[in-house]
Amino acid sequence: MKIVYRIDQALCVSCGTCDMECRFGAIRISDQGKFSIDAEVCRGCGLCAASCPVDAAVKA
């Protein structure tokens, strides 16, 4: 089973830290400034979760 992460929108403060840390380009930002993780691109490394100051990046 592939491990992927998602952004909990209720916790995310849109700081962009996860985007800066993702080595695979899996983080997307919407026109409204909301961050999300593309499950097809995510490699499950956990760097987004480790860097998130509010623990919004969680295992899907």
Q: What is the CATH number of the domain that holds 54?
A: 3.30.70.20
- Total domain count for the chain? 1
pLDDT tens digits in sequence order for the chain, 60 residues long = 789 999 999 999 999 999 999 999 999 999 999 999 999 999 999 999 999 999 999 999
Q: Is 35 exposed, middle or buried (0-12, 13-18, 19+ CB in 10 A)?
A: buried
8 Å CB contact between 3 and 24: no
Q: How far is CA 9 from CA 12, 51, 58, in A?
A: 5, 16, 11
Residue 13: the pLDDT is 97
Residue 2: the pLDDT is 87
Q: Which domain holds residue 33?
A: 5-59
Q: How many angstroms separate the CA atoms of 41 and 28, rounded?
A: 10
Q: How many angstroms separate the CA atoms of 37 and 46, rounded?
A: 12
